[in-house]
Homo-oligomer: A and B are copies of this chain.
């Protein structure tokens, strides 16, 4: 691949950080994109900024307003899922309607504008039976949108979407991140915005379980 620019969706969570390090390990010049979309807190975005600086991968933060709510991540009145019965079969209340589709659309626009040939996103298997927009079939469908609906696609240059974590468990992602030297301590997973992770939400549950299973100590 001659053109080595890529757009990386960097939320500041563990998965996106591993994805950025993965893209860098493949020789890509990474341009990161994060979204300020009315999340309950900004801990993740602060994490994204730190990781962007550390890796010298410029970060753009896009502010978007979804004035229709519909998710526990955006609306204090909707209850966050607790880790008591984490289930991968039910779409959780933290699902934001169309979120990854919106994120990918911006990434695509950015990629076209800077002439990048790749988009990296850290969606993965452990999420995908819960979040519809984390499933492999969704990414296959989105590829078709790119090939039919963009200048790059029509001119047969294309923009490839890479989901390096899609079939990995959290433990496998953590092992990969460990190998790539990801500074896990800079990433933020907790749905709450406290000083320390709450340890109780779904996201904390899967993170902690992943580290235990990977046999890697959290700093």
Contacts and interface: CB of A to CB of B under 8 A. Distances in A.
Contacts of A142: 145, 149
Contacts of A62: 64-65, 67
Contacts of A70: 109, 112-113
A104 to B, nearest CB: 8
Interface residues of A, number: 45
Count of chain copies? 2
A106 interface: yes
Nearest to A61: B67
Nearest to A114: B68
A153 to B, nearest CB: 7
B91 A154 contact: yes
A50 interface: no
A98 B91 contact: no
B60 A98 contact: no
A97 interface: yes
Contacts of A109: 66, 68, 70, 96-99, 101-102
A132 B105 contact: no
